[in-house]
Structure 1
Amino acid sequence: MERLLILDGNSLMNRAFYALPPLTNAEKLHTNAIYGFTTMLLKMKEEIKPDYVVTTFDRKAPTFRHKEYEDYKAGRKKMPPELAEQFPVVKELLSKLAINIFEIDGFEADDLIGTLATFAKSKNIEVYIVTGDKDALQLADDNVKIVINKKGMTEKEIYDKKRMIEEFGVTPTQFIDVKGLMGDKSDNIPGVQGIGPKTAFKLIQDYGSVEEVLKNIENINGKKVKENLERDAEKAIFSKKLATIMTNVPVEIDLDAIRSKEEFDSSAVREIFLKLQFKTLLDKIPEVAEERVNHSLEVNYTTIEDLAEFEKAISRINEEVYIISDIEGSNVYSQCNLNKLYLSSDSDYIINVSNMLEKDEIGTKEALKKIFEADNIKKVMNDAKMTYTVLRKMGIDFKNLAFDTAIADYLINPSQKEYNLTDMALEFLNLNLDGEADELRVKEVHVLKKIYEELKKRLKNLNMEELFYNVELPLVGVLSAMEYEGFKIDSEKLEEIGKKVSEQIQKTQDEIFEMSGEEFNISSPKQLGKILFEKLDLPVIKKTKTGYSTNAEVLEKLLDKHPIVEKIMYYRQVTKLYSTYVEGLKQVVDKDNKIHSSFNQTVTTTGRLSSTEPNLQNIPIKSEMGREIRKAFVPENNDSVILSADYSQIELRVLAHIADDENLINAFKHHSDIHTKTASEVFKVPIDEVTPRMRSNAKAVNFGIVYGISDFSLAQDLKISKKEAKSYIDTYFERYPNVKKYLKDIVEQGQKDTFVSTIMNRIRYIPEINASNKMVKSFGERLAMNTPIQGSAADLIKLAMVNVYKRLNSLKLKSKLILQVHDELILNVYKDELNEVEEIVKNEMEKVKELKVPLEVDINVGDTWYEAK
């Protein structure tokens, strides 16, 4: 039997739009509905293998139902503009896929679906209707399957006549009668007042139809139900009529025209997918995948395993070379070794470095130096940091990295998961780089020049050249140097701290068992829930599918209900501390007794660095036990100390600069304690009468403003009333009016551009800011307020790192930069260089960029990281 696949365009687009997070392409077009719809279309085509495919859409013109009932669908929310703009694109895509579209003035998509299904049945064609709307269930039959798209875009339920009866106890046509009685709020179909789904289904199961129900009102139980039926009898009949899908819309159906086409414009589909940035969908359609193969690349290359040939090849490199490195082992300092190099200059080469190193280690290293240490040869790479680090381990100093395509692509598209050359070739050059290992790498290095030229143009167009060439590109070498240097660990001290934490865990566990009157697994939410909410009878805050919620938010609300709650919170804190930062750190201490963390430059959308293997930026500092961990981090040797240089309130200073607020600028210019000053303003007391609590609350207001805090959130944070929190915020804005103006202006700018930028023009796209969902939109607005501030602070500390590193190197000092934690730089400083290094660090950090307020740096020195803080 042949099969017809009918897609309910409006319903599926609507469901996809609300199910998927906001997505936009480079042109700021919203794409989540198109992506969800296309994914569903391809999935259903693959599963059903239809002979015919159509998609139906609603038209804007009023339908016959509107003419009969003026309030039909009244009150329904207007389609969000970010969804509306996706319909023309999805229709163009369907056109290029040779899938027929059915839409007609005066009739809904449902009526076209009903007509198409009825026609197909008459031709003995099996029908599959894919929709998110249960109205279509009335069309179910033995050979008409209704595929209801459910959770997200991944789950679905399939109904035929048999399943309808089994699940609902009514036939598909009786489903219309049910709707006649209960109405439909989404379509504003009135039904009978007071009759809900349960009663409606029961009445139709008992009497078979609306008409029979109305004939038997006297036999129906329940005085109120009888009264409602008598009063709204006409409404019930009319509602049934409105809910009935038409099956005879005057539309021509040509089976040949809707037949599933083997041939379509695959090149145009590919173009649309690339424009929409749907890279994952390119291989989902065989014809489009073939189109990619047609755009693939053939490259001639030479494999070199001999040192003499290698030297001959590199002797021809004069000004510029394009390099990809193959690094053996994981991205971990202690395990990485250089295996192969792929070079492209006048020709393309694979250099088997590891093979040559085995034969002649000294000769190979000298040959590598001729490339990498040559100041006059520009090197272009993709993600060069690990190459820097591996070469450092070999005693080779990487010089003149002219361009890193991964860093450039990150600045242009900061929210991507990865930045590889295969994706870039596809996006920028419309080239498919296929092949295994060596062949693929040679193709990548071959196109690296064109990708580099394209990215260079885009950086210029986006006014990002200063950020790229002065900050991000030189930072590659700085981060590599930090990874190479590492941070010395006192293993005995770490062991001692571990014992201390372990004792705290045992002590806290015993206290919890004593308070609860029994032993149980504290780490099991199920067992903990029973103790808290059944045995101790604490108020239930939140339930999940598996039982009681015992998350941090719940425990916070229970803090004043029983002393056990504080103990449980502390237990969680110390057990995490032990597993992550005691045992965890032991696992990553290298044989040189150092931790060589990896610093990631292309991960965060704000521009901040992240640290992994291990994450040294997240060592807890709020608790004394957490701070103890820093005692295990020590200087390189007895001749060194740890120096910590920390920007003082950099985000608030950046806010003062960006907002150009005179009062805030003056506070910093006069070196006032900004939190005390704000407390004085907000609480309207003289500065010398500000209490520690007032200052603490003002600090929460200051930092809350930076993150777009609401009065509700501030009230929760400070445990005060919403009214009081609002008065704090209002008073703050009275004293700092330009801050209020800035926050308003940046949100409006974000809504207009769908991105915001930092002082150095780092861009962050915020599609959420125009979302229809209020929570998503609010989140987008907070991002718009905070990103220019947090991102600018990130830019400044990165530039400071570059400048500090350059100064230390130019003066040939032994002291080294070894860690960055947000607003803080950590250095291993030799005692005989201490005064000079202190001056260099302070000067470079405070003079990094001229702002309307002074930047201030606090410097501390100690024999451990703990002491230096």
Structure 2
Amino acid sequence: MSKKRLIVVDVSNFIFRAFFAIRPMTAPNGTPVNATYGVLSMLLKIMANYRPTHMLLARDTSGGSFRNEMYEEYKANRSEPPEDLVPQFSLIKELIDKMGLLNVADENYEADDIIGSSVTQWKDDFDEILIASGDKDLMQFVGGNIKMLDTMKDVTYDEKGVFEKMGVRPDQIVDYLSMVGDTSDNIPGMRGIGAKGAAKLLAEHDTLDKCFEISDTFKGKKLTTAFTEYVDDAKLSRDLIKIVTDIDLKCKSEDSELKFYPTDELLAFLKELGMNSMIKRMEDLKYQLSIADGEGEEGEVASPFEHLIVGKDIKEDEFKKLIKESKKLAVQTEFDSSDIHARNLVALNLSFDDNKSYFLEVDQKNEKEYLELIYSDESKEVYSEHSKRDYSHLFRHKVSFKAKNFDIVQAHYNVSPSMRHNIEAICTNVNVNVTTLDKKNPYITSLETIEERSTYSGLRSIAIFRLANLLKEELKEKELVSVYEDIDNKLIPILAEMEFEGVCLNKEFLYDMARDLEEKLSVIQKKVDSFSVNDTINLNSPKQVGEFLFNELSFPVVKKTKTGYSTDSSVLEELAAKNINEVPGLILQYRELGKILSTYVKALPEIVNEKTGKVHTSFNQHVAQTGRLSSVNPNLQNIPIRSETGRLVRKAFIATPGNMLLAADYSQVELRILAHYSEDPTMIKAFNEDKDIHAQTASEINDIALEDVTSDERSKAKAVNFGLMYGQSSFGLASALKISRKDAKAYIEKYFERFSKIKGFLDGLKEDAEKTGYSITMYGRKRFLPDIHSNNRTVKANAERMAINSPIQGTAADIIKCAMINIHEEIQKRGLKSKMLLQVHDELIFDVPENELNEMKTLVKEGMENVVKLKVPLKVEPSLGVNWYDLK
């Protein structure tokens, strides 16, 4: 017989968590729905993961409770609910009702009192009761069959768990909080007694009343003061914290029986809210609900998923037959290291449907056979959550990836670019609760038993299978299939190959550079110390630098932080501009050189791969919401190039012996896209006549001849050209150019007067985003902007800046991605030995044998310039060098 399990949900707790955890979303009519979506997701997750037989939702009301009459200041420090949350309270109530879930509220009591009353009054009616809330007050009820459930961490607390977390027993929680207080509810507690002190007192004396009784024996000023001056506060706090358990709930325990089923009425409501992906999720849930409740060991609710182990639950030849016959399969590959040139594939987990997985431990004898069975069959479609990793492994074993690839993480990025894209975050959409591994040892080899390994990996392969089908539909629904298939998915194997190839590094150059930088830092340190009458100043300590600048040297304070004086770069630059002395400028220089030394010069030699002798960065195409690529370990896109010292770091990146590096960089690609889109005649003419666009802009705005433009005027025009394209305001331009806001406003007005069609185009981007809810690139990539409908002016303005920037920057990103795909294809077609190594913003870098230099210069230039036809030409000038620095 199934275990009777009641879950009591603190809905108010869920609502606020959901609102702040999920980025703004709106229904088709503009109503905010992010909290509504989040609460539904959390409720579905509870049902899927904990399989309750009964459920009760406790709600707060808009008014106060008896506690406000007892203490006027109770919860007085809480601000009003956010503007976008207010209309969602009624939506969430309607959602709960349409789900058929028992929910209770009382005008005179809080949700905590409803929870306390239900678990106390119904305790004997259930085998297990879980309180789903993050409120530590409710831990006072833990004991026996009552436990606390933290849904954020998927942790359940029994009596032992409460003690480990709080340092006191559940029956001591009220006394503990009466001493400590609670700032969120404005409960005073006893001043001078903190968490450790309260736990220690209760460990020694068991109860607060006993502490009152013997308080005259306490020693120490804080303790004696607390128990003489704040006893009344403690007693008041105890009355406020103690939860009522005898409310008339106006319902019986059997009324909470969970009979939820996705009805047509509920699906219509979700359609009305624009939650189309949630409707698909409901279809999956129907399947879940159709599975009869089973029981596992020790009466635990059984998992609805089946994890079979090859060699134990299924014969190996049967497993191979399944692979051969399947046309669609989800594959979870498990490695023992992050090193793409040294790691081993230790396990495979395959799912051929959305409810069953097959686990195989891999060794060298059977590895290549299985890789070929899965990946080398053109008739198959393989679903994965890290296909770039799989491509790298196949390169190493010389196995061709001929199957069609569907990467769920990349697809999720395409349909929801603003969300988190790891499988842990997205698999909740398909009612599968995947587990995670220890961050210090994030590999399956850390799990002791084969059952643990097969379950961990199997849940992921099942989630992958379900997500693949869901995301395919969402790509179609949002008209993003071509962006995924023709651009991002085609780029995955190219990025994998670039990562696998790596870049040669001149370690000796960096060792010499490190010595030089250390000497320079030492000189700067001595110069700064010469201004101090005290000991050496730790220039890496903001606190010491602040005290030195503003106390000892008496610089005017620019701004403060919670911990003291601010000494960030903007403050130091402002102080340096005052020319009081050279210290602020020296500190800026020290920080810049120190960062270059630690982040690049010393760090890069440490990450050279032992096997290849190269640096292997990892490219990521699902981080930046505009579609741009990023790189990590190391981040080669953030090497500072504004200073000569930063640029010198690039000298360490060298060609393979006997080869040359070839670089090709798009010239002002984003401005050319702006000219194309806006069709501004002045800008188009300048680009078609190959004029310096920034000098041309300065000439137009200042009414001077092109040849008379000064470098300062050109710099200002450049700031305007790029700033306005990123939605910069007159305030932002004034700050960038160090001019008054009035002058910045006049400059912008003059700009739009001379480049008349640009303003209309930029305004049109905002209007289009307002209508559709997204911005879109030339290739159809979308960035969804729910904040464009916000009533908060600051939030809306930020979304409007994204609406301007994303189509331009996103189109530039798509253009270089398409160029990479075309060039890589051409290199392979011609059988050339040249390798694409790096992509850094608008630049591509290749490692080229000398006998292919001329051919590659032409191939790359034509491949980048002819990738798309614009109303102005794309311009690329390839350059050659033995290291990255010399390419400029």
TM, length-normalised to structure 1: 0.71
What residue number does 2:846 align with? 827
What residue number does 2:400 align with? 397
- Give the 3 Å change call, closer, same or farther, for CA 852–396 of structure 1 in structure 2: same
Counterpart selection for 1:634 from 651, 654, 664: 654
What residue number does 2:802 align with? 783
Q: Which amino acid aligns with 2:488?
A: E
| Aligned 8 A contact 2:306 2:357 in 1 | no
| Aligned 8 A contact 1:321 1:343 in 2 | no
| Aligned 8 A contact 1:302 1:348 in 2 | no
| Aligned 8 A contact 1:97 1:269 in 2 | no
1:849-868 equivalences under 5 Å are: 849-868=868-887
Counterpart selection for 1:99 from 94, 99, 103: 103
State the Cα distance separating 1:84 from its structure 2 match: 1.9
State the Cα distance separating 1:33 from its structure 2 match: 5.0
State the Cα distance separating 1:495 from its structure 2 match: 0.9
| Aligned 8 A contact 1:52 1:260 in 2 | no
What residue number does 1:744 align with? 763
Q: Which amino acid aligns with 2:646?
A: G
What residue number does 2:682 align with? 663
Counterpart selection for 2:362 from 334, 350, 353: 353
1:530 to 2:530 alignment: no
Q: Which amino acid aligns with 2:363?
A: S
Structure 2: stretches of 5+ with no match in the other structure = 1-7, 45-54, 65-78, 122-132, 136-173, 194-245, 286-290, 295-299, 436-450
Further displaced range: 846-855 or 574-583: 846-855
What residue number does 1:613 align with? 633
What do residues 611-667 of structure 1 show as CA deviations (whole Å, max 9, x unaligned)?
1111111111111000111111100112x1111111111111222223333332332
1:837-852 equivalences under 5 Å are: 837-852=856-871
- Give the 3 Å change call, closer, same or farther, for CA 305–603 of structure 1 in structure 2: farther
| Aligned 8 A contact 1:384 1:476 in 2 | yes
In the alignment, the residues of structure 1 paired with residue 351 and residue 109 of structure 2 have an alpha-carbon distance, to the nearest angstrom, of: 57
| Aligned 8 A contact 1:54 1:258 in 2 | no
1:335-484 equivalences under 5 Å are: 335-344=342-351, 349-354=358-363, 356=365, 364-365=367-368, 368-369=371-372, 371-420=374-423, 426-428=428-430, 430=431, 436-442=452-458, 444-445=460-461, 448-484=464-500
What residue number does 1:302 align with? 310
- Give the 3 Å change call, closer, same or farther, for CA 78–312 of structure 1 in structure 2: closer
In the alignment, the residues of structure 2 paired with residue 615 and residue 83 of structure 1 have an alpha-carbon distance, to the nearest angstrom, of: 42
Counterpart selection for 1:489 from 505, 514, 527: 505
In the alignment, the residues of structure 2 paired with residue 318 and residue 163 of structure 1 have an alpha-carbon distance, to the nearest angstrom, of: 70
1:55 to 2:43 alignment: no
Residue 317 of structure 1 aligns to a residue whose secondary structure is helix
What residue number does 2:565 align with? 548
State the Cα distance separating 1:17 from its structure 2 match: 9.8
Residue 672 of structure 1 aligns to a residue whose secondary structure is coil
- Give the 3 Å change call, closer, same or farther, for CA 344–747 of structure 1 in structure 2: same
Counterpart selection for 2:739 from 700, 708, 720: 720
1:171-210 equivalences under 5 Å are: none
What residue number does 1:206 align with? none
| Aligned 8 A contact 1:8 1:56 in 2 | no
1:521 to 2:529 alignment: no
| Aligned 8 A contact 2:19 2:85 in 1 | no
What residue number does 1:706 align with? 725
| Aligned 8 A contact 1:304 1:310 in 2 | no
Q: Which amino acid aligns with 1:540?
A: V
Give the count of matched residue pairs.
705
1:142-291 equivalences under 5 Å are: 156-157=184-185, 159=187, 255-257=248-250, 263=256, 265=258, 267=260, 275=278
What residue number does 1:320 align with? 327
Identity within the alignment, %: 34
- Give the 3 Å change call, closer, same or farther, for CA 460–856 of structure 1 in structure 2: same
Residue 623 of structure 2 aligns to a residue whose secondary structure is coil
1:539 to 2:556 alignment: yes
In the alignment, the residues of structure 1 paired with residue 761 and residue 674 of structure 2 have an alpha-carbon distance, to the nearest angstrom, of: 9
State the Cα distance separating 1:599 from its structure 2 match: 0.9
Q: CA RMSD in A?
A: 4.7
State the Cα distance separating 1:353 from its structure 2 match: 2.6
Counterpart selection for 1:602 from 610, 617, 622: 622
- Give the 3 Å change call, closer, same or farther, for CA 856–305 of structure 1 in structure 2: farther
Residue 56 of structure 1 aligns to a residue whose secondary structure is coil
In the alignment, the residues of structure 2 paired with residue 21 and residue 648 of structure 1 have an alpha-carbon distance, to the nearest angstrom, of: 38
In the alignment, the residues of structure 2 paired with residue 41 and residue 473 of structure 1 have an alpha-carbon distance, to the nearest angstrom, of: 34
What do residues 772-792 of structure 1 show as CA deviations (whole Å, max 9, x unaligned)?
333322222211211111111
| Aligned 8 A contact 1:743 1:785 in 2 | yes
In the alignment, the residues of structure 1 paired with residue 322 and residue 307 of structure 2 have an alpha-carbon distance, to the nearest angstrom, of: 22
In the alignment, the residues of structure 1 paired with residue 812 and residue 759 of structure 2 have an alpha-carbon distance, to the nearest angstrom, of: 20
State the Cα distance separating 1:442 from its structure 2 match: 3.8
What residue number does 1:142 align with? none
| Aligned 8 A contact 1:327 1:336 in 2 | no
State the Cα distance separating 1:849 from its structure 2 match: 1.9
What residue number does 2:828 align with? 809
Q: Which amino acid aligns with 2:507?
A: S
Residue 818 of structure 1 aligns to a residue whose secondary structure is strand
Residue 348 of structure 2 aligns to a residue whose secondary structure is strand
In the alignment, the residues of structure 2 paired with residue 426 and residue 651 of structure 1 have an alpha-carbon distance, to the nearest angstrom, of: 38
- Give the 3 Å change call, closer, same or farther, for CA 373–259 of structure 1 in structure 2: closer
In the alignment, the residues of structure 2 paired with residue 536 and residue 805 of structure 1 have an alpha-carbon distance, to the nearest angstrom, of: 59
What do residues 165-224 of structure 1 show as CA deviations (whole Å, max 9, x unaligned)?
x9xxxxxxxxxxxxxxxxxxxxxxxxxxxxxxxxxxxxxxxxxxxxxxxxxxxxxxxxxx
What residue number does 1:507 align with? 523
What residue number does 2:32 align with? 30
In the alignment, the residues of structure 2 paired with residue 593 and residue 52 of structure 1 have an alpha-carbon distance, to the nearest angstrom, of: 59
Structure 1: stretches of 5+ with no match in the other structure = 43-49, 60-75, 103-108, 133-144, 149-153, 167-252, 283-287, 358-363
In the alignment, the residues of structure 2 paired with residue 656 and residue 707 of structure 1 have an alpha-carbon distance, to the nearest angstrom, of: 14
Counterpart selection for 1:583 from 591, 597, 602: 602
In the alignment, the residues of structure 1 paired with residue 575 and residue 583 of structure 2 have an alpha-carbon distance, to the nearest angstrom, of: 10
Further displaced range: 662-671 or 552-561: 662-671
| Aligned 8 A contact 1:642 1:864 in 2 | yes
What residue number does 2:208 align with? none
State the Cα distance separating 1:847 from its structure 2 match: 1.3
- Give the 3 Å change call, closer, same or farther, for CA 32–301 of structure 1 in structure 2: same
Residue 454 of structure 1 aligns to a residue whose secondary structure is helix
| Aligned 8 A contact 2:26 2:34 in 1 | no
Residue 693 of structure 1 aligns to a residue whose secondary structure is helix
Residue 519 of structure 2 aligns to a residue whose secondary structure is helix
Q: Which amino acid aligns with 2:25?
A: T
| Aligned 8 A contact 1:325 1:338 in 2 | no
- Give the 3 Å change call, closer, same or farther, for CA 423–261 of structure 1 in structure 2: farther
- Give the 3 Å change call, closer, same or farther, for CA 89–447 of structure 1 in structure 2: closer
| Aligned 8 A contact 2:333 2:345 in 1 | yes
In the alignment, the residues of structure 2 paired with residue 89 and residue 655 of structure 1 have an alpha-carbon distance, to the nearest angstrom, of: 43
| Aligned 8 A contact 1:675 1:699 in 2 | yes
In the alignment, the residues of structure 1 paired with residue 500 and residue 665 of structure 2 have an alpha-carbon distance, to the nearest angstrom, of: 23
TM, length-normalised to structure 2: 0.70
State the Cα distance separating 1:725 from its structure 2 match: 0.8
| Aligned 8 A contact 1:751 1:769 in 2 | yes
In the alignment, the residues of structure 1 paired with residue 727 and residue 432 of structure 2 have an alpha-carbon distance, to the nearest angstrom, of: 43
In the alignment, the residues of structure 1 paired with residue 365 and residue 262 of structure 2 have an alpha-carbon distance, to the nearest angstrom, of: 47
Q: Which amino acid aligns with 1:255?
A: D
